[in-house]
Structure 1
């Protein structure tokens, strides 16, 4: 038997943010999850259920030992195949 998971909830109304709508994240959730300004999130929706899911984007840092040339080549590959990688992620 594992440790019970505690869920943090909050209620918000959607508000106008430029040409979009935005929903603020309650302070308790921001603190519990240590969300910082500039953090990135993936937002998806299931139209059949109306459920919106928000997940943090996990940043991958390049490991030690890569030469500047290797870093540039890796950046080029990631940029060139960005759509392919994005589509693989959604499978």
Structure 2
């Protein structure tokens, strides 16, 4: 019974983490997610920076926030990063 309860709460917590929607995001992060969606769910960090017109550090912080929330994945490619939206 204890094992069942542990697994139940663990699964529930995992689901809640992944269910973060764009409505719960600040406006700047919503804008970033929309731009990634408009590009087919994949964009380079440099392209994203050009479209959003934010500083390099602001873009990096925003991407780190989205990655922590489980909404994107970053992949190193050459000198830059490719950003992929997890939940299209």
TM range (shorter): under 0.3
Alignment TM-score, normalising by the size of structure 1: 0.26
Q: Which has the higher helix share?
A: 2
Max radius of gyration: which structure?
Answer: 1
Q: Which has the higher contact order (CA 8 A, sep 6+)?
A: 2
